[in-house]
């Protein structure tokens, strides 16, 4: 294992210390400091939005705590869900009196702990709504979409829901919008190399230098197929072939497109993928109005990339364009 660290057991907490020192608009809370909140606290009268998940995916999940986005995040160990107590602490920190929306990826440990946290705080009188993002088309067929994983499409849902809440919408309205945004986005990824979880000190899976895994999840979950490397254009075509049909796009429709690095893939290669994706969408008469290219949802140092496409209407387009600011993404 080659990593810049001290003690692997302190990896997450030292990362959180550094994050908050570099970005003082964020601070740690919770019994073990595993809750990231906005330093200015909850906004009175605004719906609070809380997420949570394992470390190792920056900027997801904690990196999107900020103005016009999320209010708090419960943080787990690398590739491990947050504790129930931290989910509760995040929800309390985000509560400005208008209720709290839990908005997170569709993973078993996260579901269990957020569900228990919601039950506990509802008993205390806090209004709570929950929306799970399940955008990874490779992880289950369309007719079993409730089983799909939440991956980089979370970013678009965070942005839309955060803007809706910032505009003063009610908890019901914010939750309804978040479900609409989650239903409008699809993603798929490809992995070229494994990554190393610090606590284990070894690669998360094995793959030959000449191979890629098509459809792999952000924790190394198996994809659709494993085989020889393909050209960037061939990969982009196949990724879009899996994503676009479910969105039922027509000539003249608008989309947001995210070309995302899973960690080690450089921007140069992401732009090569974006180039081909833009060509394909242009050929279908589909307009990209909100392009994003970069590291938005990673898997430690995994080499690979994902594509996320969100079908837009006037409301979603407006919410993606609304002002927002966090350490990793600003919209002016």
Q: Which residues does the annotation mark as catalytic?
A: 57, 219
Q: Which long-range contacts (CB under 8 A, 24 or more apart) does 17-23 make?
A: 19/62, 19/327, 22/327, 23/327
The alpha carbon torsion through 89, 91, 93, 99 (nearest 10 deg) reads -150
Cis peptide before 61 (omega within 30 of 0): yes
Cis peptide before 59 (omega within 30 of 0): yes
Written as six digits, the tokens of 217 are 């999840």
Residues 63, 224: Cα–Cα separation, whole Å: 29
CB 66 within 8 A of CB 49: no
C-beta atoms surrounding 62 within 10 Å: 30
Written as six digits, the tokens of 93 are 């920190």
Q: What is the DSSP letter of 225?
A: E
Residues 180, 267: Cα–Cα separation, whole Å: 30
CB 53 within 8 A of CB 111: no
Residues 76, 17: Cα–Cα separation, whole Å: 15
CB 49 within 8 A of CB 162: yes
Written as six digits, the tokens of 199 are 């606590």
Buried b (16+ CB within 10 A) or exposed e, 184-205: bbbbbbbbbbbbbbbeeeeebe
CB 218 within 8 A of CB 299: yes
């Amino acid at each position: 294992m080659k990593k810049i660290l001290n003690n692997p057991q302190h990896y997450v907490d030292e990362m959180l210390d550094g994050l908050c020192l570099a970005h003082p608009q964020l601070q740690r809370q919770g019994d073990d400091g595993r809750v990231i909140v906005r330093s200015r606290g909850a906004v009175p009268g605004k719906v609070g939005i809380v997420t949570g998940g394992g470390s190792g995916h920056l900027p997801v999940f904690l990196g999107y705590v900020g103005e016009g986005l999320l209010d708090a995040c419960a943080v787990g160990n690398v590739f491990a869900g947050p504790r129930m107590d931290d989910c509760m602490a995040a929800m309390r920190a985000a509560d400005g009196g208008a209720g709290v929306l839990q908005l997170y990826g569709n993973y078993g440990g996260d579901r269990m702990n957020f569900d228990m946290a919601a039950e506990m705080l509802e008993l205390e009188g806090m209004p709570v709504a929950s929306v799970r993002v399940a955008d990874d088309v490779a992880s289950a067929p369309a007719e079993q979409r409730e089983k799909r994983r939440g991956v980089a499409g979370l970013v678009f849902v965070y942005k839309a829901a955060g803007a809706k809440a910032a505009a003063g919408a009610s908890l019901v309205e914010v939750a309804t919008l978040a479900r609409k945004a989650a239903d409008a986005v699809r993603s798929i990824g490809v992995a070229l190399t494994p990554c190393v979880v610090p606590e284990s000190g070894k690669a998360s899976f094995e793959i030959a230098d000449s191979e890629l895994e098509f459809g792999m999840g952000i924790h190394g979950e198996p994809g659709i197929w494993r085989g020889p490397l393909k050209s960037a254009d061939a990969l982009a075509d196949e990724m879009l072939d899996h994503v676009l049909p479910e969105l039922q796009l027509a000539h003249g429709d608008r989309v947001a497109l995210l070309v995302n690095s899973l960690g080690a893939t450089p921007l140069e290669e992401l732009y090569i993928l974006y180039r081909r994706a833009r060509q394909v969408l242009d050929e279908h008469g589909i307009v990209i109005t909100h392009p994003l290219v970069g590291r938005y949802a990673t898997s430690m140092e995994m080499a690979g990339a994902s594509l996320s496409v969100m079908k837009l209407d006037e409301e979603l387009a407006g919410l993606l364009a609304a002002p927002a600011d966090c350490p990793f993404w600003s919209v002016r």
